[in-house]
Amino acid sequence: MYGRPRPRRTAVGLGAAVLAAAVLAVTVTETTVDAAPGSPVNAAADRPATVPDRPATAAERHGWGSPLPEWSDEFDYGSETGPAVPDRDKWRLAGGGPGKCWPGHSGNGRRCDANTRVVGGVLRMTGEADGDTGWLASPYGRQYGRWEARVRSRATAPDNGRQYHPLLILWPDSDEHPEDGEYDYLENGAPGEQCAEAFLHYPHPESVPVQQEFVRKCGVDLSQWHNVAVEWTPHGLRGFIDGEEWFRFAGGANEDRDCIQCAPSMHQTIQLDNFHGDDLQSAVYEVDWARVYDLPDNESTG
C-alpha cells in the first residue's frame, strides 16, 4: 500500500471466489487462529490489575539478540506539549519532508507529515475525518531479517463504516508491487479490532491474479499494546504476536509466482491508510517502539 494503487483485498476464502467472478481473481489461503485462554494475547484477563500488561517480545522469547541501533527507534523523544518530527536519520516522511503531503492510498485523501509525530515515548499517527493521515518509512532496506514493533490503535469518533486501516508492512525497495512481493504482517480493516490480520504477497507478474496468503488471529484486542513481529529468512516467513508464532509460510512457487520468501530487498513502513476518500471515522495509531534484528550468519543465506 505504499507504491502504485492496487486492488483492495476485502474478500478472502469463499467470498474471494465470488468476487473473482465479477471483479478480480485472487489466489489466497485463509488461516484463522483463536488465541487460547491464558496465552499472552489474553493474559491481561488472567492477571491481577496491579501487574503491568507487558507481553513477551519475539526477540526476548526466541533469542534474537540486540536490535540494530541505526535501524531501530524507541521513540523516546518529543512530548505531548512539544511533538517531534520522527528522527530523519531513521525515517522517510510523508510528502518528503516536514509540513508536506502527498496523495494517500489509491489516491484517497492525503498522507501528511504533520499527521505523524513523536510525543514522548510514542509515535502517534492521526487519521482525520477529512482523509488526511500519517505514514512513515524506513530508509534502510534488506533481504531477510527480523522486524518487531509494539503497537495499538483506536477510533476517536463514532463508527460510520468508513474506518482507517492500521498496518505494518515490509515494502519492496524497488516500489515494484506485485512483481517484488509485499509482506503486510499486520493489516486490519479498522483500528482496535479484536482479530489481528496479515496479508503475505508472493512475488508475481501484474498480469496474473493476486497471489497471497491471508491469516487471522482472533482474541487479540488491538486497542491494547501488542508486540507484532515478522521473521524473513531464505527458508520462509514467520509471524509473531507477543512472542507467540501465529503464521508460517514457505515455498509455494508455481507457474504464476515465485516462492513467498523469494522477494528482493524490502524496508519497513508504518501506515494508517485511507480506503474511502473523505468523511472517515477519525483514528489514532500508536507505536511504542520499532526494532530491527539481524539473522544469524547461518540463517542469512539459502
Mean pLDDT of 41-66: 63
pLDDT band at 302 (very low <50, low <70, confident <90, very high): low
Mean pLDDT of 35-56: 42
Q: Which domain holds residue 109?
A: 13-299
Distance CA 93, CA 111 (A): 9
What is the total count of domains within the chain? 1
Give the H or E element holding residue 254: none
CATH of the domain at 33: 2.60.120.200
Q: Is the pLDDT of residue 23 over 50?
A: no
Cell 509485499 found at: 182
Burial class for 10, CB neighbours closer than 10 Å (0-12, 13-18, 19+): exposed
Establish if 4 belongs to a structural domain.
no
**pLDDT, tens digit, 9 for 90 and up, residues 68-121:** 999 999 999 999 999 999 999 999 999 999 999 999 999 999 999 999 999 989
Mean pLDDT of 119-138: 98
Cell 533469542 found at: 63
Counting DSSP H helices and E strands in the chain, the numbers are 2, 18
How many of the other CB atoms lie within 10 Å of CB of 251? 12
The residue ranking higher by pLDDT, 39 or 245, is 245
Establish if 3 belongs to a structural domain.
no
The pLDDT assigned to 162 comes to 98
The pLDDT assigned to 271 comes to 99
Q: Is the pLDDT of residue 206 over 80?
A: yes
Establish if 6 belongs to a structural domain.
no
The pLDDT assigned to 14 comes to 29
Establish if 5 belongs to a structural domain.
no
Alpha carbon separation from 52 to 12, 49, 75, 193, 225 (Å, rounded): 37, 8, 20, 21, 11
Distance CA 53, CA 78 (A): 24
Q: Choose the weakest-confidence range: 16-20, 141-145, 153-157, 169-173.
A: 16-20
Instruction: Provide the residue count of the chain.
Output: 302
Q: Say if residue 178 is preceded by a cis peptide, omega within 30 of 0.
A: yes
**Beta bridge mates, 80:** none
pTM: 0.85
